[in-house]
Amino acid sequence: MIIGITGYLASGKGEAAEYLASKHGFVKRGYGDMIRAELTEMGVPLGRDAEYNHANKMREEHGFGYWSKKIVESIKPGENVVIEGVRNPGELPELKAAGNFKLIAVEAPVEVRFDRVIKRQKIGDPTTFEDMKAKSEREAENEDPNKQRIQPCIDQADYVVVNDGSLEEFHQKLDKIVEGLQNE
């Protein structure tokens, strides 16, 4: 089984992937991990803008499914995988073609997400609410099909999980989805 996780900045994508890995035995893969590895190999300083630009450049040069193809090629037979950070609908056909793929969208209000960003203090994260809203809008939809287009991914999700409560509530919602998928 392959589960992709999509959603806006600080919606809980990473937490969802970590939880599915630790609680349900999924192997975690992430677009961001691959992008950061390539940037490090190239000697480029890491940060949200550098990652965003590199991801878009690779999609433009090698096609929409560039990152998904790399992930699919890394999956071993019989492995259950959770993929964190599906951000472009052009990545979905490659994942769907791999078989037994489901997409989960994680959503949270921008105010909740901004509070998380301030608490985590990750390099490259917005530092003002206005910047947070601007980054979310930039990543939502884009005229350039090679760039991040999170909203169309959310629109195509098989499941939507609202992550605006406690961590325990979020985990319970994820458990219910996984249990349903295992019973299909």
Domain boundaries, the chain: 2-182
Q: What is the pTM of this model?
A: 0.89
Percent of the chain with pLDDT over 90: 76
The hierarchical CATH code for the domain 2-182 is 3.40.50.300
As given in the structure block, the two tokens for residue 95 are 């994942």
Residue 77: strand, helix, or coil? coil
Residue 44's DSSP bridge partners are none
Closest by CA position to 29, among listed 17, 19, 44, 15 = 17
Provide the pLDDT for residue 81: 97
As given in the structure block, the two tokens for residue 31 are 């677009």
As given in the structure block, the two tokens for residue 26 are 């999924």
CA distance 46 to 61: 21
CA distance 168 to 79: 26
Handedness of CA 157, 159, 164, 169 (dihedral sign): negative
- H or E element in which residue 165 lies: none
**Residue 66 CB: number of other CB atoms within 10 A?**
20
Longest dimension (CA), the chain: 46
Query: According to DSSP H, which parts of the chain are helical?
Result: 13-24, 31-42, 48-62, 66-74, 92-97, 110-120, 129-140, 150-155, 167-182
What integer best gives the mean pLDDT of the chain?
Answer: 93
Left (φ > 0), alpha (ψ -120 to 50) or beta: where does 113 sit?
A: alpha
Q: Is the pLDDT of residue 109 over 90?
A: yes
Query: Over the stretch 44-101, which tens digit does the pLDDT of each residue have?
Result: 999 878 988 898 899 889 988 999 999 999 999 999 999 998 988 999 999 999 999 9
